[in-house]
Structure formats: C-alpha cells, structure tokens
C-alpha cells in the first residue's frame, strides 16, 4: 500500500464576495445584511476529491480561474475549505516566486535564510545547506547583493535552488516552470527528474502540457471548479487539449501543443 | 469542514528563528544607511520638539520650566506609539507571503512591535543627553520603571497593531481612520502641555484617553524618576484590554487572511 500524503475528501471552497464589504461606510449601512451572514459567496471549488501518494508527481491542469491555485492554497494550509476534509501529512515547500517571500532590500543570501526558516527549518539547518543552494543557483557574487537588482530569471533561480535543496517533503509549484535561461531550465529539469525517483512529493500546476506529461505520474484536470478527469498524464492531457481545441503532437515520449513552441 | 494538517508543525527553535529573522529583516531595512539611519530616526522627534518649542514657548510663551526637556521626554515615547500604531494597518495588506506559506501571522506584528520598541530604547541616550544639558542625571528608579513601562507600551502597541492590521484587510479604510485617530490622540494627550494645565473639571477625563497615563508615566520617569501608581495601573489596564481585543480579533480572522490579500 502506498502512503497517502495529501487527501481531499469532497472539498469545496468558496470566497466571500467582498467587493461590497470593503469600506467601513458599507458595513455600517449594510450591517443587518452582514449580520445575517447570508452574503453571497463565490464557489471556486466544488466537491473535489483526490489523493496524492508519497513520492508521487501530481499535475494539475485547467483553464485560468478553474481553481488550481485555490487547490494549492488548501494543500499549503493557508486556506480553509468551506466544506469537506483536507488531510496533509508532510511539510509543505511552496516554490516562492517574484513578490511573495522575497524581500527586495535583503541580499540573496539573507533571503535564502528567511525563506528556509519560513518553510519551517531552523536557522542552523538552513546554514548547513546554504553553500549547496548558492552553488546550484549560480548567482555567484550577486548572492551578496540585494535582490531588487535581480532579473526575474535570477529570482526564479534563487527560488528553485532554495526549495530544491531544503529536502522538501511536499513541493508545491504554481505555474513557474520554464523561467530562467535554457541552461538553468535544463538544470531544473534534471533536479526534478532526480526528485522523480526520490521520496519528494510534487504537486505541479502548469500550462505547459509538455512538462506536465514528462514530469508527472498522474494529472488532474479541473474544469469549472470541479474535477473533470484524473489519471494517466497522456490521456488527461489529450482530452484537455482536445477540449480546448488545441492540436497536440506526440513525438516519441514527448507531448507538445502546437502553440507552445514559440 | 475539517483540516488535518501535520505539514505546518514547527519546532520551538523554528519559531524563535522566525521571529528573529523577521525582526532582523525590518531592523536592517530601517537602518540600511547605518549611522545615518539612526540619526534620521532621532531627528524626527527632535525636529518636532524644536518646532513645538518655537511655537509654544517662544511665540505663545507657555510657562513650563525646561520646556524643551519636557517636550523631548514625552515626544520620544509618543513617537513610538504613533509610529507603531500608525503603520500597523499596512502590516498584513500586501504581504503576499500569507497566501503562500502557513506560518503564525502574529509574528509579523510582533516583530514590528519589537522593532519599534528597540528603536525607542536606542533613543534613550538622547534623552540622557538632554537631561545632562539641564544638569540632571538618570534616576535609579529607571532600572525598574523602564522595563515595566516598556512591557506595558509593547503590549498596548502589539494589541492595537493586531487589531488594525487584521481589520484593515477586510475594511481597507481603517488605515485612514487610524491616522486621523492618532492625530487626535496626540492633542488630547498631555505632550505639548502638562496635565496640570488641564482645568480641574476636566482633569479626570484624561483617564479616558488610553495613551495619556502611559505618556505621563514615561515623562515623569525620565524627568524626575517618579511613577505614579495610578497612571501606571491605568496604562496597564488599557494595555491588557487592547491586547485582549487585538488578539481576539486577530484570532477570529487570521484563517481568512489568505482569502482577502
Ligand atoms: N481571494 C479570492 N477572493 C475571491 N475570489 C477568488 C480569490 N482567489 C481566487 N478567486 C476566484 O476563484 C476562482 C479560482 O481561482 P484560482 O484558484 O486562482 O484559479 P486558477 O489558479 O486555476 O487560475 C477564480 O474565478 C478566481 O477569480
Ligand atoms: Mg492560478
């Protein structure tokens, strides 16, 4: 039996429609309405059930606004489900991107420490790994400079290098594959492949059906806030592309949409 | 609705490191220009003191002995309060980290409040300098008075920060409200004037101003090494109340933070 590390059991998530609730004035005027607590909510996920096994590479695809990031938020524990049950066994390592988690005025090195500790490691543990992270990032002397001067590719390298070397248990990646130059992209791919064989569980949201189908063991397709399909990457991706009206080609072991090659 | 999450357990050492690293982050950013950063941070209350001295002592001829010293001993403590509370509504807004990682969000206001406190502590030498200029020296009562007032002041500003930072996520105009409130409070607090100048009929009303007993306590302690138990008790009471309210509101709302950022 494989160990389950993430399990969603009939999970729904709705967001409050705060737009008429943002000002003090509105609250005072609509107090009765708000006290009724029956303000309309927007359902971003409805009745989602799936399981992710230890060491599995689990892909999530779907159109913009389908609910992919919401799913990752629930896994990370930053969002609470409105209904259903979420079980997560293992420490979460989100791949941080531009804006979130990095502080522009701190140096690359200081950001590594900040990020590592935010993800639950102690300072000592981060310091043990910091050389490895810096080496992998190839940022060299830039590592001692404030990251506000980094290009977005350099930031992405830093972000990936951090999560990749902190012995992640459950790695969450939200649409950030394929950043950085091609050489670094290749390095990332290799590292991902290394994770493939290891015990690292990965949940990957990506619009690149090519990478999804090479990296993942299983793929979930979310459509209009519900699960449309879960299963073999090739099959799910094929259906997804067909539905989106995008032609895709199977070239040996690789899947590519015709449009994704520019 | 149920969540069983073992992924976000943290060791005590991690909590400590997290607080430390968040604290250092803010500290570094504040004192980025090192020496100049420190000078700037004391320049503001000093400049204010000079302006008030000019307006109220030189022009209007207020009769307070050693007025400049009187101003400075109150203004530094006020500066702490107003900086901490005035900037608190922005603590969570725009912090996209909250959307990505589950960590105890209270560490953000806590590290900010500690920063403001350290900042104040670093300005005490300036107060000593001005005492020396006026031929006065620190009192031995500082040894217990300062830690006690620091604790009360920290608790009060943390409580208010929790309250305003949390609420501002849901009601974005809290930010403006707070800045007006802080401005009002400044004039209602005996900083420019001594509480003795308040007409007897109104004198007890200063206990309705949560900040007044605290600022008066700071000034008395710095000026002549005394603390009036009544003022200290009142400020402690307010600190407890604000911390209670702030923590309660934070606790009720924190799970929704990621939804509204
Ligand atoms: N914090 C929020 N408040 C209100 N609605 C939200 C919030 N976050 C996402 N949504 C809505 O929920 C739906 C799903 O969003 P998301 O999970 O980000 O989609 P995806 O990542 O698949 O593009 C979208 O329609 C989006 O507008
Ligand atoms: Mg998304």
Question: Which of B92, B102, B177, B251 has the highest number of chain A CBs within 10 A, making it the mutation to test binding with A?
Answer: B102
Question: 3-state DSSP call for residue B208?
Answer: helix
Residue A66 has pLDDT above 90, yes or no: yes
A16 Cβ inside 6 Å of ligand 1: no
Cβ partners under 8 Å of residue A177, min gap 6: A188, A204, A206, A208, A211
A201/A87 Cα distance (integer angstroms)? 15
pLDDT in tens for each of the 261 residues of chain B?
677 887 778 899 999 999 999 999 988 888 776 667 778 778 888 998 899 989 888 888 887 788 999 999 999 999 999 999 999 999 999 888 899 899 999 999 999 999 999 999 999 999 999 999 999 999 999 999 999 999 999 999 999 999 999 999 999 899 999 999 999 999 999 999 999 888 988 888 999 999 999 999 999 999 999 999 999 999 999 999 999 999 999 999 999 999 988
pLDDT score, position B66: 87
Q: For residue B188, which phi and psi values (nearest 5 degrees)?
A: -85, -10
How many CB atoms sit inside 10 A of residue A223's CB?
Answer: 15
Q: Does residue B119 form part of some domain?
A: yes
B75/B52 Cα distance (integer angstroms)? 10
pLDDT score, position A210: 84
A14 Cβ inside 6 Å of ligand 1: no
- Please tell me the least confidently modeled range out of A43-47, A248-252, B163-167: A248-252
Q: Does residue B29 form part of some domain?
A: no
Residues of the domain holding A14: 1-89+204-262
Q: C-alpha angle B15/B236/B72, rounded to 5°?
A: 95
pLDDT score, position B129: 94
Give the ligand at the shortest distance from the Cα of A64: 1
The verdict on a CB contact (< 8 Å) between B21 and A123 is yes
By Cβ distance, the residue of A92, A101, A117 closest to B18 is A117
Q: Does residue A61 form part of some domain?
A: yes
Q: Please compute the mean of the pLDDT values over residues A217-244 and round it to a whole number.
A: 93
| Alpha-carbon separation of residue B90 from A6, B22, B27, B84, B87 (angstroms) | 34, 16, 17, 11, 6
Residues of the domain holding B197: 38-260
Q: Does residue A220 form part of some domain?
A: yes
Residue A33 has pLDDT above 60, yes or no: no
Residue A19 has pLDDT above 80, yes or no: no
pLDDT score, position B134: 92
The verdict on a CB contact (< 8 Å) between A22 and B17 is no
Q: Which CATH number goes with the domain that contains A37? A: 3.40.50.300
A17/A43 Cα distance (integer angstroms)? 10
For chain A, state the CA radius of gyration.
Answer: 20
Q: Does residue B16 form part of some domain?
A: no
Cα B5 to middle of ligand 1, angstroms:
22
Residue A261 has pLDDT above 50, yes or no: no
Cβ neighbours of A77 in B, within 8 Å: 3, 5, 7-8, 102
How many CB atoms sit inside 10 A of residue B212's CB?
Answer: 23
Q: Are A206 and A179 in contact (CB under 8 A)?
A: no
Interface confidence, given as ipTM, is 0.86
A244 vs A23, higher pLDDT: A244
pLDDT score, position A2: 84
Q: Which of A205, A219, A232, A231 is nearest to A72 (CA)?
A: A205
Q: Are A221 and A240 in contact (CB under 8 A)?
A: yes
Q: Does residue B23 form part of some domain?
A: no
For chain B, state the CA radius of gyration.
Answer: 20
Q: Which atom of ligand 1 is nearest to the CA of A68?
A: 22
Cβ neighbours of A82 in B, within 8 Å: 1
Q: Which of B33, B25, B75, B82 is nearest to B50 (CA)?
A: B75
pLDDT score, position A262: 40
DSSP state of A1: -
A24 touches chain B (CB under 8 A): yes
Contact map slice: A 70-129 vs B, CB within 8 A: 73, 76-92, 94, 96, 99-101, 103, 105-106, 110, 113-114, 117-124
**A106 to chain B: closest CA residue:** B25
B59 vs A182, higher pLDDT: B59
pTM: 0.90
| Alpha-carbon separation of residue A215 from A79, A195, A254 (angstroms) | 27, 10, 11
pLDDT score, position A112: 95
A67/A224 Cα distance (integer angstroms)? 8
Record the tokens describing residue A171, joined without a space.
Answer: 């790695």
B233/B230 Cα distance (integer angstroms)? 5
The verdict on a CB contact (< 8 Å) between B7 and A113 is no
Record the tokens describing residue B173, joined without a space.
Answer: 């105009």
Q: What is the average pLDDT value for chain A, to the nearest integer?
A: 85
Q: Render pLDDT for B16-72 as a digit per residue (tens, 0 to 9).
A: 999 999 999 988 888 776 667 778 778 888 998 899 989 888 888 887 788 999 999
The verdict on a CB contact (< 8 Å) between A83 and B103 is no
A62 Cβ inside 6 Å of ligand 1: yes
The verdict on a CB contact (< 8 Å) between A88 and B102 is no
Q: Does residue B255 form part of some domain?
A: yes
Q: Considering its fold, how many domains does chain B have in total?
A: 1
The verdict on a CB contact (< 8 Å) between A100 and B99 is yes
| Alpha-carbon separation of residue B235 from A220, A232, B76, B110 (angstroms) | 57, 65, 17, 20
Q: Render pLDDT for A89-146 as a digit per residue (tens, 0 to 9).
A: 999 999 877 667 788 888 999 999 999 999 999 999 999 999 999 999 999 899 999 9
Q: Does residue A179 form part of some domain?
A: no
Q: Render pLDDT for A149-168 as a digit per residue (tens, 0 to 9).
A: 998 888 888 988 998 898 88
Q: Does residue B97 form part of some domain?
A: yes
Where are the alpha helices (H) located in chain B, listed in sequence order?
A: 12-30, 35-52, 67-87, 107-133, 142-170, 174-188, 212-224, 229-253, 257-260
Q: Hey, whose CA ends up nearest to atom 14 of ligand 1?
A: A67
Q: Does residue B22 form part of some domain?
A: no
Q: Considering its fold, how many domains does chain A have in total?
A: 1
- Name the band, by pLDDT with cuts 50, 70 and 90, for residue A56: very high
**A92 to chain B: closest CA residue:** B7
Give the ligand at the shortest distance from the Cα of B99: 1
A170/B8 Cα distance (integer angstroms)? 11
């Amino acid at each position: 039996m494989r160990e389950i590390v993430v399990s969603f059991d009939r999970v729904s998530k709705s967001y409050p429609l705060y737009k008429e609730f943002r000002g003090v004035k509105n609250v005072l005027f609509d107090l009765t309405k708000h006290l009724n607590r029956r303000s309309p909510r927007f359902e971003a996920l409805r009745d989602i059930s799936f399981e992710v096994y230890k060491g599995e590479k689990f892909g999530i695809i779907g159109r913009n606004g389908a609910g992919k990031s919401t799913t990752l938020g629930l896994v990370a524990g930053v969002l609470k489900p409105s209904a259903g049950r979420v079980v997560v066994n293992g420490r979460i390592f989100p791949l941080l991107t531009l804006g979130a988690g990095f502080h522009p005025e701190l140096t690359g090195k200081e950001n590594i420490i900040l990020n590592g500790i935010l993800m639950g490691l102690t300072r000592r543990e981060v310091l043990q790994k910091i050389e490895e992270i810096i080496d992998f990032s190839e940022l060299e002397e830039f590592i001692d400079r404030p990251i506000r001067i980094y290009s977005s590719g350099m930031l992405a390298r830093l972000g990936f290098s951090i999560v990749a070397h902190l012995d992640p248990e459950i790695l969450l990646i939200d649409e950030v594959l394929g950043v950085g130059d091609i050489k670094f992209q290749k390095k990332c791919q290799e590292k991902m492949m290394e994770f493939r064989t290891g015990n690292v569980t990965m949940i990957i949201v990506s619009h690149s059906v090519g990478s999804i189908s090479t990296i993942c063991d299983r793929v979930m397709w979310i459509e209009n806030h519900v699960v449309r399909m879960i299963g073999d990457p090739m099959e799910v991706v094929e259906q997804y592309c067909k539905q989106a009206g995008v032609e895709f080609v199977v070239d040996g072991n690789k899947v590519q949409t015709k449009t994704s090659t520019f | 609705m149920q969540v069983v999450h073992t992924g976000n357990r943290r060791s005590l050492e991690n909590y400590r490191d997290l607080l430390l690293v968040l604290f250092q982050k803010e500290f570094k950013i504040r004192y980025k220009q090192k020496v100049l950063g420190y000078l700037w941070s004391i320049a503001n209350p000093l400049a204010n003191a000079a302006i008030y001295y000019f307006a109220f002592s030189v022009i209007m001829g207020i009769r307070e002995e050693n007025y400049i010293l009187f101003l400075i001993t109150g203004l530094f403590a006020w500066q702490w309060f107003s900086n901490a509370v005035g900037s608190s509504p922005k603590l969570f807004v725009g912090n996209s980290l909250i959307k990505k990682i589950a960590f105890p969000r209270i560490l953000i206001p806590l590290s900010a409040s500690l920063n403001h406190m350290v900042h104040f502590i670093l300005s005490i030498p300036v107060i000593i300098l001005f005492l020396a200029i006026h031929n006065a020296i620190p009192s031995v009562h500082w040894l217990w008075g300062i830690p006690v007032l620091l604790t009360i002041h920290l608790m009060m500003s943390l409580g208010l920060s929790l309250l305003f930072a949390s609420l501002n996520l849901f009601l974005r105009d809290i930010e403006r409200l707070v800045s007006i409130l802080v401005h009002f409070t400044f004039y209602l607090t005996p900083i420019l004037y001594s509480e003795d100048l308040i007409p007897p009929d109104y004198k007890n009303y200063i206990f309705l101003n949560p900040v007044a007993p605290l600022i008066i306590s700071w000034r008395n302690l710095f000026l002549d090494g005394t603390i009036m138990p009544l003022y200290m008790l009142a400020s402690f009471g307010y600190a407890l109340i604000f911390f209670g309210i702030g923590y309660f509101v934070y606790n009720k709302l924190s799970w929704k933070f990621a939804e509204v950022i």
